[in-house]
């Protein structure tokens, strides 16, 4: 195994612990606050976040295709699949920002307060989803750099694979954020 | 790493397997949303969601992140240490959380 891949795995383990700590803080805050808001109705909020989840999952599949193409040394297809992954990442970020804007400007949820319950909700919700969104945006930039480098023959297939590990990790974190933050806070 | 050495390490599931895994992930997501629609008890809902999320995480790590096709020593190196750290967080989380849960106004 190459040192780059090992380094990325070590980063992933440390970042897993960061998100675990945040999700445990969320559970702790929620368990101890009886007026925790449940601001997400099935339609449109859950339908919207489900679409975001499917978009992120689709971008993971295109990343798998990019890694496979890179291992065949098919530069054109690798770049094509990586661009598709970037589009998925940008679409996810766009949808997420749309949801944030709706919550902030139409429903009055901010990082310090909201009309439905404990103000802690805003800090936890925007903190966790914001950190995840930051990871997605960094991932899109990372994909762009590796795609250009691989297309020009400066980066190897291992670089694409390591980039893939990061992208799948971002997807993996969302597989916990989506059910715990959104599906556990459905407004009936 | 040289390209020859990497070529020897080229591995992973086939396209068909990856697409099957992806369909499985979307299906589990659909099941989670369906459960949210059914308005279950929060404790039951949380238990089911955590189990389903762990299944999805295992699928992503095994197939998309190729952990299933890496040397087993890598899994032994990464996973137990990570689980140990998360368990340590929970050891501190539960007693305090339940104490405060009993103290909160109903």
B40 touches A: beta carbon within 8 Å: no
Judge: B64–A28 Cβ closer than 8 Å, yes or no.
no
Asked whether the predicted pLDDT for residue B95 surpasses 60, the reply is yes
pLDDT of the residue at B99: 85
pLDDT of the residue at B35: 95
pLDDT of the residue at A4: 96
Asked whether the predicted pLDDT for residue B11 surpasses 90, the reply is no
Judge: A158–B74 Cβ closer than 8 Å, yes or no.
no
CATH for the stretch A3-187: 1.20.120.80
Beta-carbon-side half-sphere exposure of residue B68 (alpha carbons within 13 Å): 13
The one-character DSSP state at B61 is: I
Judge: B96–A157 Cβ closer than 8 Å, yes or no.
no
Q: How would you write the pLDDT of chain A (188 residues) with one tens digit per residue?
A: 889 999 999 999 999 999 999 999 999 888 888 899 999 999 999 999 999 999 999 999 999 999 999 999 999 999 999 999 999 999 999 999 999 999 999 999 999 999 999 999 999 999 999 999 999 999 999 999 999 999 999 999 999 999 999 999 999 999 999 999 999 999 98
List, for residues B53-92, the tens digit of each pLDDT value. 999 999 999 999 999 999 999 999 999 999 999 999 988 8
CB pairs under 8 A between A and B: 127
Residue from A117, A158, A180, A183 to probe the interface with B (highest B Cβ count within 10 Å): A183
pLDDT of the residue at B10: 53
Judge: A1–B104 Cβ closer than 8 Å, yes or no.
no
Q: Roughly what angle, to the nearest 10 degrees, separates helices A47-71 and A75-101?
A: 160
pLDDT of the residue at A32: 83
Residue B8 binned pLDDT confidence (cut-offs 50, 70, 90): very low
Spatial CA neighbour of A156 closest among B7, B80, B77, B67: B7
Q: State how far the Cα of A25 lies from the Cα of B7, in Å rounded to an integer.
A: 43
A41 φ, ψ to 5°? -70, 155
Partner residue opposite A176 with nearest CB, options B46, B53, B93: B53
Distance from CA of A32 to the nearest CA of B (A): 5
pLDDT of the residue at A123: 95
Asked whether the predicted pLDDT for residue B6 surpasses 60, the reply is no
Distance from CA of B100 to the nearest CA of A (A): 6
B94 touches A: beta carbon within 8 Å: no
User: Which residues of chain B make contact with A2, given a CB cutoff of 8 A?
Assistant: 1, 6
Cis peptide bond upstream of A41, omega within 30:
no
B4 touches A: beta carbon within 8 Å: no
Q: In terms of CA atoms, which chain B residue is nearest residue A73?
A: B7
pLDDT of the residue at B9: 46
Collapse the DSSP code of B43 into the 3-class scheme (helix H, G, I; strand E, B; otherwise coil) and give the result.
helix
pLDDT of the residue at B104: 73
Q: In terms of CA atoms, which chain A residue is nearest residue B22?
A: A61
Mean pLDDT (chain B) is 87
Domain coordinates in residue numbering, chain A? 3-187
Residue from A28, A40, A64, A118 to probe the interface with B (highest B Cβ count within 10 Å): A64
Q: State how far the Cα of A52 lies from the Cα of A73, in Å rounded to an integer.
A: 31
């Amino acid at each position: 195994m190459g040192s780059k891949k090992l380094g990325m795995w070590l980063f992933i383990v440390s970042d897993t612990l960061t998100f675990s700590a945040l999700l445990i803080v969320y559970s702790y805050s929620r368990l101890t606050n009886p007026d925790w808001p449940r601001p997400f109705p099935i339609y449109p909020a859950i339908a919207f976040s489900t679409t975001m989840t499917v978009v992120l999952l689709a971008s993971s599949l295109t990343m798998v295709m990019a890694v496979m193409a890179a291992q065949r040394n098919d530069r054109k297809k690798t770049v094509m699949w990586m661009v598709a992954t970037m589009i998925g990442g940008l679409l996810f970020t766009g949808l997420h920002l749309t949801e944030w804007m709706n919550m902030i400007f139409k429903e009055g949820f901010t990082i310090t307060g909201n009309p439905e319950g404990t103000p802690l909700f805003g800090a936890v919700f925007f903190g966790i989803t914001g950190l995840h969104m930051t990871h997605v945006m960094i991932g899109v930039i990372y994909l762009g750099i590796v795609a250009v480098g691989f297309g020009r023959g400066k980066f190897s297939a291992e670089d694409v694979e390591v980039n893939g590990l990061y992208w799948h990790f971002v997807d993996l974190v969302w597989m916990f954020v989506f059910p715990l933050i959104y599906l556990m806070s459905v407004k009936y | 790493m040289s390209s020859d050495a990497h070529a020897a390490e080229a591995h992973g599931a086939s396209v068909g397997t990856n697409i099957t895994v992806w369909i499985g992930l979307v299906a589990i997501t659909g099941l989670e949303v369906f459960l949210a629609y059914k308005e279950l008890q929060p404790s039951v809902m949380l238990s089911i969601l955590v189990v389903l999320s762990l299944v999805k995480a295992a699928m992503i790590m095994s197939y998309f992140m190729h952990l299933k096709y890496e040397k087993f020593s890598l899994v032994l190196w990464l996973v137990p240490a990570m689980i140990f750290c998360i368990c340590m967080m929970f050891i501190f989380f539960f007693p305090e959380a339940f104490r405060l849960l009993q103290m909160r106004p109903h």
